[in-house]
Amino acid sequence: MSAVRAIELHMIGLPLVRPFRTSFGTSTEKICVLVRLDTDDAEGWGECVAEVEPGYSEEFNEGAWLVIRDHLAPALLGADAPEIDDIDALLSRVRGNPMAKAAVVDAFVDAELRARGVALATWLGAGRERVVCGVSIGIADTTDELLDQVDGYLDEGYQRIKLKVEPGLDVDRVEAVRSAHPDIALSVDANAAYSIEDLDVFRALDEFDLLMIEQPLHHADLVRHAELQRAIGTDVCLDESIRSAADAAAAIQLGSCRIVNVKQGRVGGIIEARRVHDVCRAAGVPVWCGGMLETGVGRAQNLALAAMPGFTLPGDTSASGRYFPDDLTEPFMMAADGTMSVPMGPGIGIVPRQDRLAETTMRSELITS
């Protein structure tokens, strides 16, 4: 328990190894808000998973910056000596904005745990030392290019391949990958690009023994996801639809999905992510750790979360080299067996490299009380 003295925002720009195309746009560079938080006792780091444009959700970098600077940071800086259990109440004056909140919550939890000398994974009760890695492949220009990428990632050891799909670039692409690799764990992610009128596409996808179909329909439409889940055999997984543990409980009760993608950065941070895990685990719904092309800071958070017992499916927790020629932190490496080790140092167990932080910071702002 210690007072928050300062919060520093950095807008970070990191080149990606290759553009990442989804049904809602193409990222050519990773641009995100990074939070450094100082308490009396330690420093903590958090990463906001919003992007430049509000395409994945309503949140976007410039908006998140203002929400943190003008609303979330003052709430923490004005508090006496907050503890981790106080953080929800302190930040509850801000409605929604879970990505902005996550960056602040995660930085605070990191600082608190560093001060106590406790690893985030330990604090979460996450017993696993290594997690199983999958990889998410953006929409490729051609089927041949996609097949090459799949081959490359399988050679590296990734244990599950996820293909981004959109209307018109779906069934044929999946068919090509499935016939080249009859036995791999394969899934698709639509990022809400379809409607219930596209049932024929989902029925066709049902033939390829997919592990799941992720976020097929609009994020707010739990009822039609339930309709779709009843109409197909493949498990529906929800990503964008789940922004809280309450959303997960509603989706499970409605039968909108049989699998949940947990992204701590999407649900308001590591504390709410643990609640999502707990709700799903109690209902017997498997979860896995999603990704938002995070730098090493967000990746460390994700790996600790993915080590929790309900995370029974491979995550989008890929190695640094899958994203960046040079990460913000020391790189996360995947072993040839497709697993990655969970950081066990205090807090998230890693900090940005000073040289990389200086090179990649496009602007920064220090907020004090």
Binders in 54-73 for ligand SMG, by CB under 6 A: 56
Can you give the C-alpha Rg of the chain in angstroms? 20
Minimum distance, C-beta of residue 49 to ligand SMG, in the bound complex (Å): 8
CA–CA dist 314, 295 (Å, integer): 19
Binding partner selected for residue 316 from ligand SMG, Mg ion, none, CB under the kind-specific 5 to 8 Å limit: ligand SMG
Span 206-265, contacts to Mg ion by CB under 5 A: 214, 239
Distance (Å, rounded) from C-alpha 178 to C-alpha 173? 9
Q: Which does 56 bind (CB under 5 to 8 A by kind): Mg ion, ligand SMG, none?
A: ligand SMG
Six-digit token string for 89: 């109440």
Contacts within 8 Å (CB) and 24+ apart, 52-58: 53/25, 55/22, 55/24, 55/25, 56/22, 56/24, 56/191, 56/240, 56/292, 57/99, 57/219, 57/240, 57/266, 58/96
Q: Which of 97, 136, 241, 256 binds ligand SMG (CB under 6 A)?
A: 136
Q: Which residues pair with 311 in a beta bridge?
A: 287
Size of the site for ligand SMG (CB under 6 A): 14
Euclidean distance between CA atoms 276 and 278, whole angstroms: 5
Q: Would you count residue 191 as binding ligand SMG (CB under 6 A)?
A: yes
189 binds Mg ion (CB under 5 A): yes
- Judged by CB under 6 A, the residue of 107, 276, 292, 367 near ligand SMG is 292
- The least CB distance from residue 76 to ligand SMG, in Å, is 27
Question: Which residue from 2, 27, 143, 361 is in contact with ligand SMG, where contact means CB under 6 A?
Answer: 27
Dihedral (Cα; 34, 38, 44, 50), 10-degree rounding: -20
Residue 246 has a CB neighbour count (10 Å cut-off) of 13
101 annotated active-site: no
Binder of ligand SMG out of 9, 14, 20, 177 (CB under 6 A): 20
Q: What is the DSSP string of 298-359?
A: HHHHHHHHHTSTTB-S-BS---HHHH-SS-SSSPP---TTSEEEPP-SSBTS----HHHHHH
Draw the binding track, 138-177, toward ligand SMG (x: CB under 6 A; -: no contact): ----------------------------------------
- State the catalytic residue, choosing from 30, 101, 162, 263: 263
Any catalytic annotation for residue 164? yes
Nearer to ligand SMG, 39 or 329 (CB): 329
Note the residues at the interface with ligand SMG (CB under 6 A).
20, 22, 27, 56, 136, 189, 191, 239, 290-293, 316, 318
Note the residues at the interface with Mg ion (CB under 5 A).
Answer: 189, 214, 239
Active site residues per annotation: 164, 263
